[in-house]
């Protein structure tokens, strides 16, 4: 597990502890990229930092790019600590957040009651503070890239050509977000409201990762959308996305139907791709469900579908009736999470091979 890839190998590692997600990429020649962040099951720190250190990677030099697909807690936890360690990495986040209203919210997060202190806004604010510490001047620093449809986040020419491009959010989604963020701020004597959420992860960044012999589609948590200008429908109908289809797919939104669209499989991916995903165990209905798994497996066939932790919950511990009755009175629902982190690792030559990449499973990761 702790053997690093060679200079001419790619790697796609997906980590998921049941609630949380992180992708680690190697694009050759010691160039690493981290997409999203989560803690290990033991909450010892960002899972990407722990893994790369075990491989002997110098985080301050080897990690060239860190991407936050969106600012929900399960994708951004530990991001500031990761950026602090990856001192030379560029930082990219959703272009839908590029507006004065969101940045004002972030700047004043310690004073506002719009969100809880533990929310993704707080983590985002700390991440921007880390970026500020890298430069000296009178003006605040910000992300190096505001990711959006057609944006190039990383390009390499050695040891071979490789690139990471953003396929979302769409231009229309960014326009929508700026207007709706402005509506969030209360006027005089108006009730303070929570931060606007425009539906399930409509602002999320989808990434297209390409090397000469391998292409991956990282779905973030993007929702399907209601028309061809938003969500996955916009990605599928885009005229600026790369033409190459993905050999592997990090399934969007933990396998939920709200993040699925037939165009993903028919237009953006090769036939029978490798599918990898993380679960989400904190909701009333944990994902992926049995129906989600059946749907994904039908699309992958013999190439296989893999999950970092499945099932993500275990049977609740038996307790005294009085304790159980009290718990039912104070919470709407509860479940017992599994205290482990799953890891799926794909590796193969940058130039590709007929057999495709190797698939290794660690921790709680399983074949679906």
CB-CB contact of 67 with 120 (8 Å): no
**Length of the chain (residues):** 368
Listed in sequence order, the residues at least 6 apart from 103 whose beta carbon sits closer than 8 Å to its beta carbon are 97, 142
Biggest alpha carbon–alpha carbon distance for the chain: 66
Query: What are the start-end ranges of the E strands in the chain?
Result: 9-16, 22-26, 32-35, 63-68, 90-94, 145-147, 152-156, 162-166, 207-210, 215-218, 246-250, 269-277, 305-307, 313-314, 336-337, 342-349, 358-362, 366-367
Q: What is the pTM of this model?
A: 0.87
Name beta bridge partners: 143. Answer: none
Least trusted range by pLDDT, from 170-174, 256-260, 291-295, 332-336:
332-336
CB-CB contact of 94 with 68 (8 Å): yes
Write the pLDDT tens digit of every residue in 16-71.
988 899 999 999 999 999 999 999 877 778 999 999 999 999 999 999 999 999 88
The confidence score (pLDDT) of residue 288 equals: 95
Q: What are phi and psi of 296, to 5 degrees?
A: -70, -45
Write the pLDDT tens digit of every residue in 118-142.
466 778 888 888 888 887 655 667 7
Q: What percent of the chain has pLDDT over 70?
A: 80
The confidence score (pLDDT) of residue 116 equals: 42
All structural domains of the chain: 9-367 (3.60.15.10)
Q: Is 150 helix (H, G, I), strand (E, B) or coil?
A: coil
Name beta bridge partners: 32. Answer: 26, 63
DSSP string, 153-205: EEEE-SSS-EEEEE--S-HHHHHHHHHHHHHHS--TTPPP-PPP--STTTTPP
């Amino acid at each position: 597990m702790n053997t690093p890839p060679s200079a001419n190998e790619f790697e796609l590692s997906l980590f998921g502890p049941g609630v949380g997600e992180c992708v680690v990429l190697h694009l050759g020649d010691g160039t690493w990229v981290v997409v999203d962040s989560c803690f290990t099951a033991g909450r010892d720190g960002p899972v990407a930092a722990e893994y790369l250190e075990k491989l002997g990677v110098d985080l301050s030099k080897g990690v060239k790019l860190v991407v936050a697909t969106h600012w929900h807690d399960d994708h951004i936890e530990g991001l500031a600590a990761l950026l602090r360690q990856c001192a030379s990495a560029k930082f990219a986040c959703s272009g839908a957040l590029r507006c004065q209203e969101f940045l004002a919210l972030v700047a004043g997060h310690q004073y506002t009651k719009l969100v809880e202190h533990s929310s993704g806004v707080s983590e985002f604010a700390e991440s921007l503070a880390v970026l500020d510490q890298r430069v000296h001047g009178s003006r605040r620093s910000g992300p190096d890239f505001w990711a959006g449809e057609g944006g190039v986040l990383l390009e390499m020419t050695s040891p071979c050509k490789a690139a990471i491009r953003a396929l979302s959010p769409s231009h229309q989604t960014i326009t929508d977000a700026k207007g709706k963020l402005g509506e969030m701020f209360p006027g005089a004597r108006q009730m303070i409201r929570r931060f606007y959420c425009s539906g399930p992860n409509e602002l999320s960044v989808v990434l297209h990762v390409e090397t000469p012999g391998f292409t991956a589609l990282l779905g973030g948590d993007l929702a399907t959308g209601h028309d061809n200008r938003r969500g996955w429908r916009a990605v599928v109908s885009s005229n600026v996305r790369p033409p190459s289809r993905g050999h592997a797919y990090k399934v969007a939104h933990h396998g939920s139907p709200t993040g699925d669209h037939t165009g993903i499989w028919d237009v953006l991916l090769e036939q029978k791709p490798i599918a990898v995903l993380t679960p989400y165990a904190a909701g009333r209905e944990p994902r992926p469900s049995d129906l989600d798994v059946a749907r994904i497996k039908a699309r992958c066939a013999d190439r296989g579908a893999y999950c970092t932790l499945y099932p993500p919950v275990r049977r609740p511990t038996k307790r005294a009736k009085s304790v159980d009755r009290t718990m039912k009175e104070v919470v709407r629902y509860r479940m017992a999470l599994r205290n482990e982190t799953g890891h799926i690792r794909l590796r193969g030559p940058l130039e590709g091979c007929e057999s495709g990449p190797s698939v290794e499973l660690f921790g709680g990761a399983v074949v679906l």
